[in-house]
């Protein structure tokens, strides 16, 4: 197989209700197409660019981007899109065997769906979603160039990638919700719009990374201390009303929403260690989106065994420059 990158564009990312109720920026399909075009152009940063295999989508973003990039050899994956998250998961599973690096345009949810199926293929998530704790806020050309450097072996992938933790919640009835940045427990009794909006709804959960500059539960946890994405373990949280809490923090709980949050328990969890919650009625979410309604359940939060390889764009360019990769004579 010749050197090849995979490209996933989620047309639904960055278009949920948080555009109306919060301060999140709208990322329309035209903008995503332009980012995708830039990713493909970025592949030309190496002297012998890799080819690109694109996930087809219901909005035609991938097909349009391929048409506008004649300098790069492209092909659409043989996959009939359904317009659901299953498209991303099916494409990522195919890419696991067919590409050397994957660029994902979306938010935390799209990055998670890719990470769960792509195996050890290096992953470069680019922010075009709502919750963007994991994806990079980076120009598509830069992401494409980094992917080309890794996919062609111009830069040693092992030197510029790190494992990113994954967290999960498992119910007593053996249902599982998996998150890349976080799994949240909400007091809401129904999934509704799916987006986590009201900080008063949050009852706790678990995060694989913590930084006050993140968004959502990761920001809440980060207000009490950092957890780097590549570190093992996780942080578990129990939240209560700020007026009744032994300690409180101010955190960015959603795009455009800063709130005071009450902390009942904040605990670092080692690998294999879990934290449980008895839930009368609520919803378990992942990476800012509600996923599973639960009633009278015991929910266990813990780190998952799987961990995707995320590419450090900065480290990739630094290594390439150090090795003289960009010199042309």
Percent of all residues in the chain with a pLDDT value above 90, rounded to a whole number: 77
Q: Do residues 218 and 291 lie in contact, with contact meaning Cβ atoms separated by under 8 Å?
A: no
Burial of 243 (0-12, 13-18, 19+ CB in 10 A): exposed
pLDDT score for 232: 87
Higher pLDDT, 85 or 5: 5
> How far out from the chain centre does Cα 217 lie?
14
User: Residue 41 is inside which H or E element, if any?
Assistant: helix 29-42
Higher pLDDT, 173 or 193: 173
Kindly list the domain boundaries of the chain, sorted by start residue.
4-163+308-322, 167-303
pLDDT score for 254: 84
Confidence tier at 198 by pLDDT (50, 70, 90): low
pLDDT score for 18: 42
> pLDDT, tens digit, for every residue of 247-286?
999 999 888 889 999 999 999 999 889 999 999 999 999 9
Buried b (16+ CB within 10 A) or exposed e, 190-224: eeeeebbbebbbbbbbbbbbbbbebbbbbbbbbbb
> pLDDT, tens digit, for every residue of 208-250?
999 999 989 999 999 999 999 888 899 999 999 999 999 999 9
Residue 81 has pLDDT above 90, yes or no: yes
pLDDT score for 252: 93
Chosen CATH of 4-163+308-322 out of 3.15.10, 1.10.10, 3.40.390, 3.40.50:
3.40.50
> pLDDT, tens digit, for every residue of 118-161?
999 999 999 987 668 899 899 999 999 999 999 999 999 999 99
pLDDT score for 20: 41
Which among 233, 291, 293, 241 is positioned nearest to 264, based on CA atoms?
Answer: 241
> pLDDT, tens digit, for every residue of 41-68?
999 999 999 999 999 999 999 999 999 9
pLDDT score for 285: 92
Residue 16 has pLDDT above 50, yes or no: no
Residue 174 has pLDDT above 50, yes or no: yes
List Cβ neighbours of 268 (8 Å cut-off, separation of 6 or more).
227, 233, 234, 235
């Amino acid at each position: 197989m010749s050197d090849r990158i995979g490209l996933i564009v989620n047309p639904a990312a960055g278009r949920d209700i948080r555009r109306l109720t919060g301060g999140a920026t709208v990322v329309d399909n035209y903008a995503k197409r332009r980012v995708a075009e830039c990713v493909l152009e970025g592949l030309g940063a190496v002297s012998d660019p890799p080819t690109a295999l694109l996930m087809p989508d219901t909005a035609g973003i991938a097909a349009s981007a391929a048409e506008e990039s004649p300098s790069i050899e492209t092909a659409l994956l043989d996959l009939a899109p359904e317009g659901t998250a299953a498209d991303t998961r099916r494409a990522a599973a195919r890419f696991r065997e067919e590409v050397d690096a994957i660029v994902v345009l979306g938010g935390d949810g799209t990055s998670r769906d890719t990470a769960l199926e792509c195996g050890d293929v290096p992953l470069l998530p680019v922010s075009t979603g709502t919750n963007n704790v994991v994806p990079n806020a980076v120009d598509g050309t830069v992401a494409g160039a980094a992917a080309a450097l890794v996919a062609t072996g111009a830069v040693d992938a092992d030197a510029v990638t790190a494992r990113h933790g994954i967290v999960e919640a498992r119910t007593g009835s053996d249902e599982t919700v998996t998150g890349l940045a976080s799994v949240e427990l909400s007091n809401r009794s129904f999934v509704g719009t799916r987006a986590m909006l009201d900080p008063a709804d949050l009852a706790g959960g678990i995060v694989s990374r913590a930084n006050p500059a993140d968004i959502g539960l990761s920001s809440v946890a980060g207000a009490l201390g950092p957890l780097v994405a590549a570190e093992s373990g996780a942080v578990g949280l129990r939240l209560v009303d700020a007026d009744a809490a032994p300690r409180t923090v101010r955190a960015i709980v959603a795009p455009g929403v800063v709130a005071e949050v009450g902390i009942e328990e904040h605990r670092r969890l080692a690998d294999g260690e879990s934290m449980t919650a008895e839930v009368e009625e609520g919803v378990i979410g992942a990476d800012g989106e509600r996923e599973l309604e639960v009633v009278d359940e015991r929910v266990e939060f813990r780190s998952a065994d799987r961990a995707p390889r995320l590419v450090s764009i900065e480290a990739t360019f630094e290594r390439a420059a150090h090795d003289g990769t960009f010199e042309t004579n």
